[in-house]
Amino acid sequence: MLSEGAAAPAVELPAYVDGERRRVDLDDYLGEGIVVLAFYPADFNPACTMQESDLGDLDLFTMQKDVSVFGVSPDSTYSHEAFADRYGLHVPLLSDREGRAAEAYGVATENGVGERLVRRAVFVVDHRGTVQYAQAADDLAASLDVAPVKEAVGDIGGDDTALERYRVGHDHYAEGRAAFRAAMADYEDREWMDARSGFEDAEPAFTAAADHFDTAVRFAETADFETVVDRGEEKADTLAHAASWLADSADALASGRGKQGAQYREDAQRLLDAATDLPEPPDRDAFRLAADGVELGDSVVVDPEADEGYDWRADDGDGGADTGLGVDDADLDAAVAGDADDYERSDEPDTVEGDLEMDLDAVDAAEADDEDDSEQSNVEGDTVEGDLEMDLDAVEAAEQADDTESGESNAADSESDTASGGSTGAGDPDADPVSRGGSTGDRETPAEPDSRAESGDEEADDGEPNETGEASMEELDLADPTEGEDDEDEEDERADWDIPGR
């Protein structure tokens, strides 16, 4: 088995990580932070109970930014998925199907029949890639003892690494500080969109600085240096949150939401006040590594008796004052409140409720107008019975009117025929021929129009012209003699109808 003090080998394996399958290269983690490797025989091994797996105890390390934890076994990533889901594990699980990782760390073994197995073992590798803790057990059913692992992780330190992380963090802090100052200038000039963009750039830079400062605090072995870095982490984290609030404030003010923008600004101001009380993190070159730890430069003076735990002064002698953070300019306050002379107040409502009420009133009025128009234009009844009553009454009235007009028309035609000597249409060459049926009192039945007559041709059907202009008996015989009878039958049938309401 790999012993303590040895360099940890890097292997690349397929893995199940955060609900997905991907490949993990340990070389990306070794030398960057603390790495914990936990080898175990198999998923769902005898060390697991119905309620939990002993690997679950390693989940607590996943909450630390500078500690990476991996479980390693010969199982497939699909088995790892079921295993993680069953016990709610958040530890990345590596699949060592070919045993390369087990061989590299010296934990591969065989049983009596030659079956390849993996010993239960734990390795803690420091930030330099050196194994600081190694422990293995031959009993496959043995549970993982996490207590010595926690102790080994806590004992790992190094001022060299701490100083390196601090310097990287200070670079991020300087980047965020520059973006923040520019955004503050735009904010005071009421350039809201530019200010929002600047604050959005400052926030991730401050967050990265806080993360690196946090790692430096963990690795620091010099107490004074650890104290200074810890306060620097606090300030970077506070400014990150303040930048977020100010970005929201600038966005709200740009949209004309003055009340909301002012509230965000008040939230940010409380954080800015707290950050102003914290001194700036010392310059990255204010510390140097010595044989006995990190030496603080002359610009950094730590006073253990101070209320804050330490005090320091800057090279320029201003005592670390951070006057650029305050947003207490009276003109700016007036602009945010909407009281400045050149500030254009927006009439846009600040609440969603007001918008909804206005829109709904308009919709209700429009719907009421539509309903009135619909009632006036709708002539159909709501029921079938109403439709029948309305339609039949209208039909009956129309028929009576037609019968009256027809009788009057027939009487007039009879008088006209008598006056003209019984000739119909003699005076009008374009008149359609009609059949009298030998009586002036019979119903008139229209005859089929002759196409040649419509075109002005006065020849008879046999090709001879009709000298009188009247229809011949042969033409009259062609009319359907039953047409009049059908009309009478229809009138008789209507007389027998059972009309509702009559």
pTM beyond 0.75, yes or no: no
pLDDT of residue 60: 75
Q: What is the pLDDT of residues 244-273, one digit of tens each?
A: 999 999 999 999 998 999 999 999 999 999
Sorted by where each begins, the domain ranges of the chain are 12-155, 159-337, 379-425+432-459
Q: Please choose, from the candidates 431, 472, 486, the residue with its C-alpha nearest in 3D space to the C-alpha of residue 453.
A: 431
* pLDDT greater than 70 at residue 442: no
pLDDT band at 10 (very low <50, low <70, confident <90, very high): very high
pLDDT of residue 342: 43
Q: Please choose, from the candidates 94, 90, 50, 97, the residue with its C-alpha nearest in 3D space to the C-alpha of residue 72.
A: 94
What is each CA distance from 487 to 370, 411, 444, 491, 494, in whole angstroms?
46, 19, 11, 6, 11
- Domain 12-155 CATH superfamily: Glutaredoxin (3.40.30.10)
Q: What's the chain's average pLDDT?
A: 74
Q: Which residues pair with 434 in a beta bridge?
A: 446
* Cα 162 from Cα 461, distance rounded (Å): 123
Helix/strand/coil for 53: coil
pLDDT of residue 204: 97
- Hey, which of 17-26, 56-65, 152-161, 295-304 has the most confident mean pLDDT? 17-26
pLDDT band at 33 (very low <50, low <70, confident <90, very high): confident
* pLDDT greater than 60 at residue 84: yes
CA angle 389, 394, 400 (to 5 degrees): 125
Q: What is the pLDDT of residues 305-314, one digit of tens each?
A: 665 555 555 4
Other Cβ atoms closer than 10 A to 320:
17
pLDDT of residue 463: 46
What percent of the chain is predicted at pLDDT more than 70? 58
Structure tokens at 37: 């490797």
pLDDT band at 65 (very low <50, low <70, confident <90, very high): confident
Q: What is the mean pLDDT of residues 57-67?
A: 79
* Cα 290 from Cα 293, distance rounded (Å): 5
Please, is 288 exposed, middle or buried when counting C-beta atoms within 10 Å of its C-beta (0-12, 13-18, 19+)? exposed
Q: What is the pLDDT of residues 334-369, one digit of tens each?
A: 655 554 444 444 444 443 333 334 444 554 565 566
* pLDDT greater than 80 at residue 129: yes
CA of residue 301 relative to chain centroid, distance: 51
Instruction: At 11, give phi and psi (nearest 5°).
Output: -130, 155
pLDDT of residue 278: 86
* Cα 129 from Cα 112, distance rounded (Å): 35
Q: Which of 122-126, 159-163, 240-244, 368-372 has the lowest mean pLDDT?
A: 368-372
Helix/strand/coil for 249: helix
pLDDT of residue 431: 45
* Cα 319 from Cα 280, distance rounded (Å): 10
Residue 472's contacts (CB-CB under 8 Å, 6 or more residues apart) are: 460, 466
**Where is pLDDT greater, at 311 or 226?**
226
Single-letter residue type at 205: A
* pLDDT greater than 70 at residue 482: no
CA angle 199, 205, 206 (to 5 degrees): 85
pLDDT of residue 405: 58
393-417 exposure pattern, b = at least 16 Cβ within 10 A, e = fewer: eeeeeeeeeeeeeeeeeeeeebeee
* Cα 453 from Cα 445, distance rounded (Å): 18
Q: What is the mean pLDDT of residues 196-218?
A: 95
pLDDT of residue 349: 44
3-state helix, strand, coil in the chain (%, to 5): 50, 15, 40
pLDDT band at 478 (very low <50, low <70, confident <90, very high): very low
* Cα 425 from Cα 413, distance rounded (Å): 11
Contacts 24+ apart (CB under 8 A), 338-346: 338/258, 343/190, 345/258, 346/255, 346/256, 346/257, 346/258
What percent of the chain is predicted at pLDDT more than 90? 40
Q: What is the mean pLDDT of residues 181-203?
A: 95
pLDDT band at 402 (very low <50, low <70, confident <90, very high): low
* Cα 475 from Cα 491, distance rounded (Å): 28
pLDDT band at 396 (very low <50, low <70, confident <90, very high): low
